[in-house]
Amino acid sequence: MRAVIYLLTAVLLAGCGFQKEREDSRLALLKTTNPEPIQIERDGISVEKIREEVEAINEIYDAAVIKGDHNVLVAYKVRHLNRFQMKKIEKSLKERLDKEYDDETFVVSSDYKIFLEAVRLREDMDAGKTNEKEADKRLHEIIRLKREKT
């Protein structure tokens, strides 16, 4: 029994050591963050509008929108009791957005990781650590991550 307690303490302490991260992204999965949308590419629709539209959906709270050169990334969280239908919500949201703005390519994801990365990118841009060109690269990384399956 004692060894179990030691192990747990070690894990907990190791967990605390990592917590020197940036403010919001550390809590991004715990609370509603409502990150400001990012508009890397200025042509076309405004990200604000998309965010409002996504957040108006009942099953969804907390949406992060990033518009890049070729893609618009929409990451959001689904209310927990609706998570059973998560895949269906994702599909219908993508169809809806594709239909409404047919000159944009949407990447839609309810994955926590994608959301977290979107918030991190937002913070890095706010802190002036990332310029628009790098941000676009990061966006591509995030989208690649989303497409990965195994």
Partner 1 sequence: MLAMFFWAFVIGGLICVIGQLMMDVGKLTPGHTLSVLVVAGAILAGFDLYEPLIDFAGAGATIPITSFGNSLVAGAMQEAEQHGLVGVLTGMFEVTSSGISAAIIFGFIGAAVFKPKG
Partner 2 sequence: MSNNEKKTPAQQQYDKLNQKHELKRPVLKNCLRAFFVGGLICTIGQAITYFYIYFFDFTEQTAGNPTVATVVFLAMLLTGFGIYDHLGQYAGAGSAVPVSGFGNAVVSAAIEHRTEGFVLGVGGNMFKLAGSVILFGVFSAFVIALFKTILMQWGGL
> Footprint of partner 1 on this chain (CB under 8 A)?
29-30, 80, 83-87, 112, 149-150
Residue 107: its H or E element: strand 105-109
Query: Nearer to partner 1 by C-beta: 110 or 130?
Result: 110
The residue written with tokens 């994955």 in the block is 111
Is residue 94 a contact point for partner 2 (CB under 8 A)?
Answer: no
Look at phi and psi of residue 128 and say left if phi exceeds 0, alpha if psi is from -120 to 50, else beta.
left
Is residue 63 a contact residue for partner 2 (CB under 8 A)?
A: no
> Residue 104 carries which side chain, given as an amino acid letter?
E
CB of 25 closer than 8 Å to CB of 116: yes
Answer yes or no whether residue 113 interacts with partner 2 by CB under 8 A. Answer: yes
User: Using an 8 Å Cβ cutoff, are 125 and 142 in contact?
Assistant: no
Considering only residues 21 through 40, tell me which ones interact with partner 2, judged by CB under 8 A: 29
Q: What is the DSSP letter of 35?
A: P
Bridging pattern class, strands 71-78 and 60-67? antiparallel
Residues 139, 92: Cα–Cα separation, whole Å: 23
Binding-site partner at residue 16 among partner 2, partner 1, none, CB < 5 to 8 Å by type: none
Q: Which does 87 bind (CB under 5 to 8 A by kind): partner 2, partner 1, none?
A: partner 1
Contact partner at residue 70 from partner 2, partner 1, none, CB < 5 to 8 Å by partner kind: none
By CB under 8 A, is residue 116 in contact with partner 2?
A: yes
Among 114, 121, 125, 143, binds partner 2 (CB under 8 A): 114
- Note the residues at the interface with partner 2 (CB under 8 A): 1, 3-4, 7, 15, 18, 29, 111-114, 116, 145-146, 148-150
